Structure 1
Amino acid sequence: MLDHAVQSLREHGVRMTPQRQAILEYLVTEHSHPTADDIYKALSGRFPNMSVATVYNNLRVFKEIGLVQEMNYGDASSRFDFVTSRHYHIICDTCGKVVDFNYPVLDEIEAVASQLTGFKVDRHRLEVYGTCPTCQAEQTHTH
């Protein structure tokens, strides 16, 4: 996945810097849907000269190329997800954890929406909200 992403950046004329490589590796390996601040905090030890702006600028480049998607839920900071395939997100209302899940049956939703409305559909997004198992356990213990 990382090699494919690096190749994609090269094809778009984006130079690979050590910081850019580290941000990309972090996104590929961390499935926590980090915010720009999360990425900055995780990498600032390795790159003391790196700023939050550097992280944001690189995320913007990755987004333009289609390597990451920006997820904005309400007024919280945007989270970033390395795009490997079409998938959906379930979000914990208590701690904010975001978990991926696949449900291929939903891939047909764009065709159905187009047929029913006459729209030319470009994309869709599905978010499911609830309470994660960790928060459920904590709520059980505190009551």
Structure 2
Amino acid sequence: MIVKKSKQRDAIYNFLKTRVDHPTAEVVYLNVKQEFPKLSLGTVYRNLMLLTELGQIQRLQIGDGSDHFDANVKQHSHLICSKCGCVCDLPYCEELNNLDEKMDNIFQGKIQGHSLVFYGLCEECCKNNQ
């Protein structure tokens, strides 16, 4: 797929690369709009979907009714904090290597990928509970 270069799309991607909190499209919009005042939420969402389709970012659906976006496309899991609701990256775990293939061997259908989400308390909430 050939995609024309876009300053707005580059700004959206660059903003996501600076974040580890997996912002929603609205958060991306509010921040990138400072650089591009005429930017619309629809433009942000379309560009986020295109970046997802191109494999440059991940789209996370964590059950809170909003899509979250992650510029880290390397294999990793996430933690959703049960107290503050933040979405945190977890480091890659070697024990999960080849999980798709392992599941494919015991499942009658065809595994095409997975998303692993853990639930608990983030580091900040753990510090505040002490």
Q: TM-score, normalised by structure 1?
A: 0.81
Give 2:116's match in structure 1, choosing from 101, 105, 126. 126
Matches of 1:133 and 1:117 in 2, distance apart? 36
Displacement, 1:89? 0.5
Distance in 2 (alpha carbons) for counterparts of 1:29 and 1:133:
19
1:45 and 2:40 correspond? no
Structure 1 residue 133 displacement after superposition: 2.6
Pick closer, same or farther for the CA change 1:85–1:56 going to 2, 3 Å. same
Structure 1 residues without counterparts, runs of 5 or longer: 1-11
Do residues 14 (structure 1) and 7 (structure 2) align?
no
Match of 1:76 among 59, 65, 69: 65
The AA in structure 1 aligned to 2:126 is Q
Superposition RMSD in Å: 1.6
Matched, 1:34 2:26: no
Residues paired across the two proteins, number: 129
Q: Distance in 1 between matches of 2:86 and 2:75?
A: 19
TM-score normalised per structure 2: 0.89
State the one-letter code of the partner of 1:42. N
> Quick one: higher RCO (CA 8 Å, sep 6+), 1 or 2?
2
Whether 1:99 and 2:88 are equivalent positions in the alignment is yes
Structure 2 regions of 5+ residues with no counterpart? none
Asked if structure 1 preserves the Cα contact closer than 8 Å seen for 2:58 and 2:73, the reply is: no
The answer (yes or no) to whether the contact 1:40–1:55 under 8 Å persists in 2 is: yes
Query: Aligned residues: percent identity?
Result: 34
> Structure 1 residue 57 and structure 2 residue 49: aligned?
no
